[in-house]
Amino acid sequence: MGVSLAVGDKVEDFELLDETGTPRRLSEFLAKGPVVLFFYPAAMTSGCTAESCHFRDMAADFAEVGATRIGISRDTVERQARFARTNELGFPLLSDPDGTVARQLGARRTIAVGPFLTRRMTFVIDVDHRILEVVHSETSMQSHADRALEVLRSRPRP
């Protein structure tokens, strides 16, 4: 625990509630194509809004490579719903209130930075549950979506 998963590692299946309160499994998303799972510290904050809106604005690019974008934070289902609605995000936001999935993938901080226990990290996950890329940047809000798309565009297509 506490060690971040790396390129080539397999991500175990998990289930969390989305912004509508519906239980969603990673395997359900991966059945449709690769997944870009991005962890953000807190909904409705400036950096997380900028990052999420950049993912939103690249919807056509991600659709082109068959990828599903999924945001994940410790926020409640209600706060995720408000965040999604306010910014018209158009992709699932998962609620990980106990940080269980963040811990599983290594996106949970051992020491909180202010109120934030979740690191800003993005995992590009292929249909076989293997990680294609991990993006670490707490300050470059656009680098997560940009790098994920770059990796998916260069991935051999079946």
Residues labelled as active-site residues? 48
Rounded distance between C-alpha atoms, residue 72 and residue 120, angstroms: 10
Position 149, amino acid: L
| Cβ atoms 129, 140 nearer than 8 A | no
- Pairing between β-strand 108-113 and β-strand 93-95 as defined by DSSP bridges: unpaired
Largest CA distance in the chain: 44
Q: Torsion angle, CA of 36/15/32/62, rounded to 10 degrees? A: -20
Rounded distance between C-alpha atoms, residue 44 and residue 80, angstroms: 9
Rounded distance between C-alpha atoms, residue 81 and residue 142, angstroms: 22
- Whose structure tokens read 């510290």? 41
